[in-house]
Chain A
Amino acid sequence: MKAAILGKKKGMTSYFTADGTHVPCTVVEAGPCYVSQVKTNETDGYNAVQITFDEKSDKNVNKPLKGHFAKAGVKPAYVLKEFRDLQNDLKVGESLTVEQFEVGDFIKVKGTSKGKGFQGVMKRYNFKGVGMATHGQKNRQRHPGSIGQSSDPSRVMKGLRMAGRMGGDTVTIANMEVVDVFPDKNIILIKGSVPGTRNSYLEIYK
């Protein structure tokens, strides 16, 4: 991992390039993140950097976390995330900003997708539904169809795709292009859509 930052999805808008191409992009408020802990192979068994994002006031922090933040000398924050094997030599208290990313970089974006609730197989797995709407067919337009064979094996196979909870998963999207970076406003513009709702947290890294 060369660079990492935490951000908040703010919504989508468009950008025009000079030749008139319309580029859809997502606005993400990212950073500044502060290093709250550096884990090393000797002390923790693996190399990682823990960073904070999204400041919160002192009164909303519980005592154990308060001590953790005080030890690192950083302000309390809503999000603490670890990134494994970050290449740059970071020290506790150092900041990470959007300046790590450049226009044209290809990055990975990780977030939690929007929850869709309990959904049928057509929406959840793109099944086609059963048969036709007419010719005596009744009540089965959005059904999954057969879920098994006969008296052999006499059971439903494990992992068969059925209706159930959809969304709310951790989703990583690779090869997303950085359209623009605004270091003074802590904003990064990413081409295309990213997982999650507005104001949901995102991990951005390359």
Chain B
Amino acid sequence: MTSLQYIEQVAKDRVAATKKAKDGDKYQEFPEFGPGDTVNVAVRVIEGEKERIQNYKGIVLGIQGGGISKTFNVRKISNGIGVERIFPFHSPMIQSIEVLSKGRVRRAKLYYLRGMSDKKTRQKLANRK
């Protein structure tokens, strides 16, 4: 194990430990997901002293990077306006990720969904034969 890999492992373990300390029994590892899946990301929001959970639901457009710097991009339509949020996969601010539905896609990056209507997006991600 090189020193770089060792440090990444330490950083990952440290994040997992802080999350375990905060969530206790509720702590769980993230499920596997990929581009095209609809996910619900539970994000911690710190307001002054208090901390609460905010849910962010959308379609995964792609996964970038690897190791500790891995990120994923989630797109949703909020009040008619497209919003894309990039989450660091190993951030302690993400409490949990829930996969709501799997999408059938043939590309690693779904940037072509950006111009599409809701209906078209649904049709694109549907599990056809």
Contact of B44 among A11, A16, A20 (CB under 8 A): A20
Q: Who on chain B is nearest to A20 by CB? A: B93
The answer to whether A27 and B69 touch (CB under 8 A), given A13-B11, A20-B93, A22-B88, is no
**What is the interface size of chain A, counting residues whose CB is below 8 A from a CB of the partner?**
16
List A contacts of B92 (CB < 8 A): 16, 18-20
Q: Is the CB of A13 within 8 A of B6?
A: no
Q: Is the CB of B7 within 8 A of A13?
A: yes
The answer to whether A18 and B18 touch (CB under 8 A), given A13-B11, A13-B68, A13-B69, is yes
Question: Is B127 on the interface with A (CB-CB < 8 A)?
Answer: no
CA distance A10 to B67 in the complex (A): 16
Question: Is A49 on the interface with B (CB-CB < 8 A)?
Answer: no
Contact of B11 among A14, A19, A29 (CB under 8 A): A14
Q: Is the CB of B46 within 8 A of A19?
A: yes
Task: Encode contact with A along B1-26: 1 for CB under 8 Å, 0 otherwise.
Answer: 01110111011001100100000000
List A contacts of B46 (CB < 8 A): 19
Q: Is the CB of A29 within 8 A of B93?
A: no
Contact of B3 among A16, A18, A20, A29 (CB under 8 A): A29
CA distance A27 to B7 in the complex (A): 8
Question: Is B55 on the interface with A (CB-CB < 8 A)?
Answer: no
Question: Is B124 on the interface with A (CB-CB < 8 A)?
Answer: no
Task: Encode contact with B along A15-36: 1 for CB under 8 Å, 0 otherwise.
Answer: 1101110100001010000000
Q: Is the CB of B7 within 8 A of A189?
A: yes
Least CB distance from B48 to A in Å reads: 13
CA distance A189 to B4 in the complex (A): 10
The answer to whether A11 and B4 touch (CB under 8 A), given A16-B11, A18-B18, A19-B46, is yes
Q: Who on chain A is nearest to B1 by CB? A: A185
Question: Is B90 on the interface with A (CB-CB < 8 A)?
Answer: yes
List B contacts of A29 (CB < 8 A): 3
Question: Is B91 on the interface with A (CB-CB < 8 A)?
Answer: yes
Least CB distance from A94 to B in Å reads: 24
Least CB distance from A189 to B in Å reads: 7
List B contacts of A185 (CB < 8 A): 3, 6
Q: Is the CB of A22 within 8 A of B91?
A: yes
Q: Who on chain A is nearest to B46 by CB? A: A19
Least CB distance from B44 to A in Å reads: 7
Residues of chain A whose beta carbon lies under 8 Å from any beta carbon of chain B = 10-11, 13-16, 18-20, 22, 27, 29, 182, 185, 187, 189
Contacts beyond the supplied A16-B14, A182-B10: 13 A-B pairs with Cβ under 8 Å: A13-B8, A14-B88, A15-B11, A15-B68, A16-B90, A16-B91, A18-B18, A19-B46, A20-B91, A27-B3, A27-B7, A182-B7, A187-B6
Q: Can you name 10 A-B pairs with beta carbons within 8 Å?
A: A13-B4, A14-B11, A14-B88, A16-B68, A16-B88, A16-B91, A18-B18, A19-B92, A22-B91, A182-B10
Interface pairs A-B: 10 shortest CB-CB? A20-B93, A11-B4, A10-B3, A27-B7, A14-B69, A16-B15, A15-B11, A187-B3, A27-B4, A10-B4
